[in-house]
Amino acid sequence: MPIKNRFAELQTEITEWRRDIHEHPEILFETHRTSALVAEKLKAFGCDEVVTGIGRTGVVGMIKGKADTSGKVIGLRADMDALPILEATGLDYASKTEGAMHACGHDGHTAMLLGAAKYLSETRNFDGTVVVIFQPAEEGGGGGREMCEDGMMDRWGIQEVYGMHNWPGHPVGSFAIRPGAFFAATDQFDIVFEGKGGHAAKPHETVDTTVMAAQAVLALQTIAARNADPVDQVVVSVTSFETSSTAFNVIPQTVKMRGTVRTMSTAMRDLAEKRIGEICNGVAATFGGRVDVTYYRGYPVMVNSEAQTEFAADVARSVSGACEEAPLVMGGEDFAFMLEERPGAYILVGNGDTAAVHHPEYNFNDEAIPAGCSWWAEIVEQRMPAA
């Protein structure tokens, strides 16, 4: 059972929605126009219920099947937010908002789930209920977490959730997935070394924070190289190093560092947090200074449930003939919060040979629309078959 014919018919219309959203990118929770557009379309499709303001600017639509004897409720989730990037695609529908851009393809995700909602509202060829979830603030704001905290899962009785992301470098419309840990936990840290500033010609009268912090940058690399089991994944990257003086002849009083930690398990996450504290305190003590370490826990590891992943892969094979095993991704994904609340699965759909996500020349590939929409529709029709 390949691409659904209806989506071949709808592709032009869905592409128009996608390009309209692309032209009007909105960041984090500021997805006011996009959310209004989504809510308006869901109402026009005839969804049984459309609710805005879940997780601030999130939108939820409910569609009942022609029968409801199964009692099943499936959630399908797309993200709506853009990134603070200056677009360099040169497209005629490029961003009209300076410094904001749909550089992760969430315009495509939103359009594809709208397409599926239109089809499912028209046909209702399933036994149960579908809840379509449109979230803001995937790119670092935790919009998915806020929708969960607003009680979305219980309010609509959602039993399973599914998500999808486009994937540059994979053939258009092909699928890839993996069970278990899939996307990394994404944490951040701030480190402030305090010493005794002074004249650079009299280092013996100072406690040099630059030397101290430089030692710490190198020592932090031993978390991955010497503390973690080599078969486990951990990334510790110091991404900012700021001295309190930029003069040629001043030893600065303080040095601020920040960075990110990526892990694939709670054990590795705990280890990284503990070792960052120990290493920085040890270095500060060695050089006679002080240090403050603040560790911020961001998105948790995104874990695909076994049974739902197997089902999602079967559906992908029914749509496009094959489904590859996806690699581990050290990026984060806010859908992790929904998968902590309910079993479900997250799949990648090929975007073809395009620029990578978050690149100023990236663009969502509209040729992926029929496959992406068909996967959504088939998830529903195969999981909750009509009698």
Q: List contacts with Zn ion (CB under 5 A).
A: 104
Yes or no: say if 203 and 228 are a contact pair by the CB < 8 Å rule: no
Amino acid found at 241: F
- Name residues whose C-beta falls within 8 Å of residue 256's C-beta, 6 or more positions apart in sequence: 190, 191, 192, 193, 240, 241, 242, 244
Q: Which whole-number Å values give the CA distances from 8 to 78, 112, 119, 336, 366, in the listed order? A: 21, 12, 12, 31, 12
Instruction: Please report how close the Cβ of residue 189 comes to Zn ion at its closest, in angstroms.
Output: 21
Q: Which whole-number Å values give the CA distances from 234 to 93, 211, 268, 318, 387, in the listed order? A: 39, 26, 7, 35, 48
Instruction: Please report how close the Cβ of residue 161 comes to Zn ion at its closest, in angstroms.
Output: 16
Yes or no: say if 271 and 247 are a contact pair by the CB < 8 Å rule: no
Instruction: Please report how close the Cβ of residue 39 comes to Zn ion at its closest, in angstroms.
Output: 22
Instruction: Please report how close the Cβ of residue 149 comes to Zn ion at its closest, in angstroms.
Output: 21
Instruction: Please report how close the Cβ of residue 380 comes to Zn ion at its closest, in angstroms.
Output: 23
Yes or no: say if 151 and 54 are a contact pair by the CB < 8 Å rule: no
CB nearer Zn ion, residue 104 or residue 326: 104
CB nearer Zn ion, residue 135 or residue 374: 135
Q: Which residue is nearest to Zn ion (CB)?
A: 104
- Structure tokens given for 227: 């503390």
- Structure tokens given for 128: 């149960």
Report the chain's C-alpha Rg in angstroms.
24
CB nearer Zn ion, residue 277 or residue 298: 298
CB nearer Zn ion, residue 47 or residue 303: 303
CB nearer Zn ion, residue 29 or residue 119: 29
Instruction: Please report how close the Cβ of residue 106 comes to Zn ion at its closest, in angstroms.
Output: 6
Give CA–CA dist 375/371, Å, rounded.
6
CB nearer Zn ion, residue 74 or residue 101: 101
